[in-house]
Amino acid sequence: MAATKNYGPTRLVVGAHYGVVDFIAQRLTAVIMAVYTLVLIIGVLVMPSFSYENWKALFTFHVYALPLGQILATLFFFALAWHAWIGVRDIWMDYVRPAGVRMLLQVLTILWLVGSIVYFAQILWSI
């Protein structure tokens, strides 16, 4: 019986190039979150007083008829969820060996992230 070779040009590679897309997505979402966080910090620093009305205005300002504050906050939260999904999914794939347990953890992570997005949207778009 010949031993199979798991190295060199004959090795079985699954998921080719998924790492590049995830790497770029992780960096892109990090940039989106960093820029939005800086804008939010600047908004808080130039706020005349720290009140509920001013805090609410950071997230609900409009440019013409476009609710830009809510759109930017939603973009930030989707970027956060995508960023978290990539990171947590990689943790499950790297450290959880039994396929069933890994799949369960990934499904629970997806449910948690989708639930968080729905809850976020319900709060932000109801103000």
Annotated binding site for heme: 83
Distance CA 27, CA 50 (A): 32
Q: Which of 64, 87, 62 is nearest to 72 (CA)?
A: 62
Annotated binding site: 83, 95
Annotated binding site for a ubiquinone: 95
Distance CA 40, CA 36 (A): 6
Pair of tokens at residue 39: 């804008």
